[in-house]
Amino acid sequence: MKKSLPQSCKTDIAQLEIFNFKYWLKITIYAILVGLGIGIILCILISVLNGKWIGTERAIFQLLFSCVIGFFVSNSIHFSKRLWAGKGSHIFYISLYYLFSLSGAFIAIELLYYTFSGLFKTKYTFFHKSDFLFASIITLIVSTVSYIYFSQKARFSTKIKEKEMDLLRLKQMKTQAELATLQSKINPHFLYNSLNAIASLIHLDPDKAESMTLKLSKLFRYSINQGGENLISIEEEVDILQTYLHIETVRFGDRINFIIDIDKTISHEKIPRFLIQPLVENALKHGLKDTIEKGELKVSIKKTKNMDIVVSDNGYPFPNELEIGYGLQSTYDKLELLYPGNYELQITNEPFKQIKIQIPLHDK
């Protein structure tokens, strides 16, 4: 789908920055310097054509003449851009552009002659045709070059903005796809064990088998994430975690005590979808798998300066050289995608065996 660019991307950059005093000052100084350069070239050119130096007084007049014209022409062009501001046809804008350029040159010439007549007590006569015609040629040339330059600059700037928007959209799509992939995975071993447990319960306890089947269905429905949500409330995440634990209770029975301790004041807070379940599954699979009795697995979510999410158990300690399996890897990946550089993940055995995650509060 082709995007609709904001008006700021369609108009000349200079049009938008005319309201910026620093930018106006920069353009004015640039115009005066260009005028000074043209004045120097004209002094040299006239001297070469006459075969002698035009004289200091005339050279100063020519330099001043060129700088003043540069100042007025530059500001006239900016005024025309401000007046047009993207309205009307492009032909109208070009006509306005050149009209204001020539008007700036005309005002500069007449103002200079009027000023000099006052300084040197000479008679002022209106409209200096030869000077205006000469200045008009130079102004038209410089204005055309300036127009082409800024038009091309604006065009390239627009294209760059379009590319940046495309890259941003692709990056967002990539992030969404990666998150969707991470959220859609359910450990096949868990599914295999759950289905075996259901099969064994069908004849022994049909009601329990039905309940377990419905919970498994709920877990899958949650993992599909049809709404495409990356963040959900703690309350929702805990609800699905409890559904998962109810299924696992059929396997472990009373061997493990599951504890969920949540700060109710932050139950509305958002956390990454399916953040906790893989860590709990890891604890059951590696830490508590051989526990015969008095096993304990605790999930704690508390509000500090940030949000602290802790998954702890009293099973086998983490090995010194920890292998990053799917559970931990998916956790790292989600955190990096959703909180790049703004999270902490700690894995410790002392004083308690736990995995601790710190992420920012969204309502801070």
C-alpha 351/C-alpha 14 separation (Å) is 63
Do 192 and 292 fall into the same domain?
Answer: yes
- Residue 65: inside a domain, yes or no? yes
Predicted confidence at residue 305, as pLDDT, reads 87
How do strand 344-348 and strand 307-313 relate by DSSP bridges?
A: unpaired
Do 135 and 283 fall into the same domain?
Answer: no
Do 205 and 328 fall into the same domain?
Answer: yes
Do 201 and 173 fall into the same domain?
Answer: no
**Residue 328 above 70 pLDDT?**
yes
Do 84 and 233 fall into the same domain?
Answer: no
Predicted confidence at residue 4, as pLDDT, reads 39
Of 58-67, 175-184, 258-267, 314-323, highest mean pLDDT:
258-267
Predicted confidence at residue 310, as pLDDT, reads 95
The larger pLDDT score, comparing residue 298 to residue 88, is at: 298
Q: How many residues does the chain have?
A: 364
Do 175 and 189 fall into the same domain?
Answer: no
Among 123, 155, 179, where does a domain finish? Answer: 179
238 confidence band (pLDDT: 50, 70, 90) = very high
- Residue 2: inside a domain, yes or no? no
- Expressed as residue numbers, the domain containing 346 is 185-359
Predicted confidence at residue 14, as pLDDT, reads 39
Predicted confidence at residue 175, as pLDDT, reads 60
pLDDT in tens, 68-122: 777 777 777 766 666 665 566 667 777 777 777 777 777 777 777 777 777 767 7
Predicted confidence at residue 193, as pLDDT, reads 72
Do 96 and 134 fall into the same domain?
Answer: yes
* Total domains in the fold of the chain: 2
Among 144, 179, 214, where does a domain finish? Answer: 179
pLDDT in tens, 12-38: 433 444 446 776 777 778 777 877 887
- Residue 283: inside a domain, yes or no? yes
Q: In 10 A of CB 238, how many CB atoms?
A: 17
Do 161 and 240 fall into the same domain?
Answer: no
Within 8 A by CB and 6+ apart from 81, the residues are: 12, 14, 15, 18, 97
Do 219 and 73 fall into the same domain?
Answer: no
Do 146 and 248 fall into the same domain?
Answer: no
| End-to-end alpha carbon distance in the chain | 36
Do 150 and 12 fall into the same domain?
Answer: yes
The larger pLDDT score, comparing residue 111 to residue 347, is at: 347
299 confidence band (pLDDT: 50, 70, 90) = very high
The larger pLDDT score, comparing residue 31 to residue 156, is at: 156
182 confidence band (pLDDT: 50, 70, 90) = low
Do 228 and 298 fall into the same domain?
Answer: yes
Predicted confidence at residue 10, as pLDDT, reads 41
325 confidence band (pLDDT: 50, 70, 90) = low
Predicted confidence at residue 203, as pLDDT, reads 84
Among 158, 179, 200, where does a domain finish? Answer: 179
C-alpha 244/C-alpha 19 separation (Å) is 60
CATH number at 214 reads 3.30.565.10
- Residue 1: inside a domain, yes or no? no
